[in-house]
């Protein structure tokens, strides 16, 4: 069964980005830019500095939900949801989505070229197909394909 998850807000995404940047700075032994610090270098052996870093990290995390961002990505990547191509190294549409788009485009072209149908009936069918597929298609589909 496909997983569902609440969409991460812009604030959640910003918090996740700030947290990732913060942690990467620490890993490189730099004091993150978000810190009000006199020094440039992070010393993991300095208990006071570690306490300040942890406070700041918790402050940043308190502004949003990193969980929504990371779990949302898990939902996108879940093969059961068939949103992304599980074999691609980059974020690509699932082959089923690409096939649906190709089939819809082919069907629209066939309907338009069918001479045996009454033009008004063809347009009605195309309009119905457009309404059904609109959430899954790029803006102005299928008009874009007609021009090409």
Distance CA 128, CA 104 (A): 12
Q: The pTM is what?
A: 0.64
Of 81, 107, 139, the residue that ends a domain is 81
Task: Assess whether pLDDT exceeds 90 at residue 135.
Answer: no
Of 81, 111, 139, the residue that ends a domain is 81
Which one has a higher pLDDT value, 127 or 11?
11
3-state secondary structure of 41: strand
Which range of residues forms the domain containing residue 129? 95-147
State whether 54 and 22 are in the same domain: yes
Closest CA to 83 of 97, 62, 101, 100: 97
Task: Assess whether pLDDT exceeds 60 at residue 27.
Answer: yes
Distance CA 11, CA 46 (A): 31
Using one digit for the tens of pLDDT, what is the confidence trace for 88-99?
Answer: 999 999 998 888
User: Which range, 65-69, 99-103, 117-121, has the best average confidence (pLDDT)?
Assistant: 65-69
State residue 103's pLDDT score. 79
State residue 21's pLDDT score. 94
Q: Into how many domains does the chain fold?
A: 2
């Amino acid at each position: 069964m496909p997983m569902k998850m609440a969409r991460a807000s812009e604030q959640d995404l910003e918090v996740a980005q700030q947290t990732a940047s913060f942690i990467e700075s620490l890993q490189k032994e730099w004091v993150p830019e978000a810190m009000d610090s006199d020094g440039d270098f992070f010393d993991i052996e300095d208990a006071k500095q570690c306490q300040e870093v942890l406070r700041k990290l918790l402050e940043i995390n308190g502004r949003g939900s990193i969980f929504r961002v990371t779990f949302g990505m898990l939902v996108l990547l879940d093969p059961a949801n068939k949103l992304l191509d599980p074999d691609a190294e980059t974020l690509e549409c699932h082959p089923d989505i690409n096939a649906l788009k190709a089939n819809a485009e082919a069907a629209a072209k066939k309907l338009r070229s069918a001479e045996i149908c009454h033009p008004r009936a063809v347009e009605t069918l195309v309009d119905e197909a457009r309404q059904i597929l609109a959430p899954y298609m790029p803006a102005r589909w299928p008009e874009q394909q007609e021009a090409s």
